[in-house]
Structure 1
């Protein structure tokens, strides 16, 4: 239509009309490009909002996991101190069983993993640039880099002080394993560390787990408790350090959640 009009104007040498037609064509192309850009930008903002909302959900799950890790490490540190007190002060008939129960629990540890499927998707798909705020984008990348480092700190502590130190020490010196008992120990363990249910009852009801089990190492003529209390001191020390590491990660997680929330609130206004 426009081309036919232009040709007609050219034959008649109607230069003003030709100029008007040219402006109309250029304006139409410009507006078409602008509309396309606006649509693309709107699609990007919708995608950004969806990604950040999903990331918020991941961070909430991470916050819950880190809180559980902190609670567990606090419990282990307090338990190490409690077992040390039992060794020093308890003269009751249940002393040996309480020591064995506490030592068994202290060989337990948790592995923390701050996984975010959303962040993994953003990285692998190359969609990180869809986050329009460059500072927020940098904060997200920095957070997950730091999270991996803090995870590694806790994991290395547990491998060195629990897996490769306390557990072999107790095993090699003949200290028996005993199931946890809140009433016996006067402490309520984190739910994730408990043994319960018919199967656990079946296993722990046997003679293997009913004897006191420390007479060979804690009876008359037994070696000093000093090596055990040294292990307990290290166990309390490493868990106390893990608590601080978990708290740092928890603070960073909450800060990033709040940062994303502010960005989303601003985008919706």
Structure 2
């Protein structure tokens, strides 16, 4: 309709009307582009909010994993102190069994993984740019690079000090595996990383694991207490280093979670 009007005005050489019609067309196109841009921007902000909310959920799960890691390392570190006390001072009838259970428990280690499906999606889809605050975007990227480095520290400690040092020492010394017993040890193993199940109970109820014989006397290559204590010092060391590393990761996770909350308006007060 506008085009027909312009042609009609042109034939009649009505230049003022032509100018008005042209201005209407230009303004209409401009407004259409602006509305389209506003809609696109609003869609981006909704997508950003959805992504950041999902990322918050991932960080909360990561925080739970890290807290479990801290609890595990603290338990293992304190257990080293308990078994050393048994070696040095305890002379009760259950001393050998308790030492055996403790030494066996210390062969366990925990692998920490801080996975975020949301961050993987943001990276793989190229949607990181949808996060409007460039500083927040940089913090998110830096956080996940930082977590990979801290995970590598814990992995290396576990492989070198536990898998390749403590476990072979236990095996080569002929020291047997023993099931954990809360009542015997006087320490409650956290439920979140306790192995359970009917088959496990069946295995540990057998005579192989119920033996009350002396710990070192029956071990084919039984060491003196000095090498055992040396291994315990390294086992305590790796537990302490891993716990400290996990604490750093917990601080970084909490900080990023708070930063995202402030961006979304859930927590306006800085921490």
Partner Cα distance (1:76, 1:100) in 2: 14
Corresponding position of 1:78: 78
**Whose helix proportion is higher, 1 or 2?**
1
What are the superposed Cα offsets for residues 221-251 of structure 1, whole Å, 9 maximum, x if unpaired? Answer: x642010001101111110111110010001
1:179–1:204 CA contact under 8 A, matched in 2:
yes
Structure 1, unmatched stretches of 5+, are none
What are the superposed Cα offsets for residues 96-134 of structure 1, whole Å, 9 maximum, x if unpaired? Answer: 111110011000011110000000000000000000000
What are the superposed Cα offsets for residues 66-93 of structure 1, whole Å, 9 maximum, x if unpaired? Answer: 0000000000000011111111111111
Report how far residue 197 of structure 1 moved. 3.6
Q: Output the TM-score relative to the length of structure 1.
A: 0.95
What are the superposed Cα offsets for residues 197-239 of structure 1, whole Å, 9 maximum, x if unpaired? Answer: 43222111111111135454479xx642010001101111110
Structure 2, unmatched stretches of 5+, are none
1:175–1:217 CA contact under 8 A, matched in 2:
no
Report how far residue 61 of structure 1 moved. 0.4
Corresponding position of 2:240: 240
Partner Cα distance (1:32, 1:224) in 2: 86
Partner Cα distance (1:135, 1:61) in 2: 23
Corresponding position of 1:6: 6
**Structure 1 residues 196 and 6 mapped into 2: Cα distance closer, same or farther (>3 Å)?**
closer
Secondary structure (helix, strand or coil) at the match of 2:60 reads helix
Corresponding position of 1:44: 44
Corresponding position of 2:99: 99
1:100–1:214 CA contact under 8 A, matched in 2:
no
2:258–2:267 CA contact under 8 A, matched in 1:
no
Partner Cα distance (1:7, 1:142) in 2: 60
Partner Cα distance (2:85, 2:103) in 1: 13
1:96–1:218 CA contact under 8 A, matched in 2:
no
Report how far residue 163 of structure 1 moved. 0.6
Partner Cα distance (2:117, 2:190) in 1: 27
1:204–1:210 CA contact under 8 A, matched in 2:
yes
Moved more, 3-12 or 32-41: 3-12
Indicate yes or no: 2:114 matched with 1:139: no
What is the RMSD computed on CA atoms of the aligned residues?
Answer: 1.9
**Structure 1 residues 267 and 49 mapped into 2: Cα distance closer, same or farther (>3 Å)?**
farther
Report how far residue 8 of structure 1 moved. 1.1
Secondary structure (helix, strand or coil) at the match of 1:79 reads helix
Q: How does 1:165-180 map to 2 (within 5 A)?
A: 165-180=165-180
Report how far residue 193 of structure 1 moved. 3.5
2:182–2:188 CA contact under 8 A, matched in 1:
yes
**Structure 1 residues 174 and 241 mapped into 2: Cα distance closer, same or farther (>3 Å)?**
same
Report how far residue 267 of structure 1 moved. 11
2:55–2:119 CA contact under 8 A, matched in 1:
yes
Report how far residue 194 of structure 1 moved. 2.5
Q: How does 1:106-145 map to 2 (within 5 A)?
A: 106-145=106-145
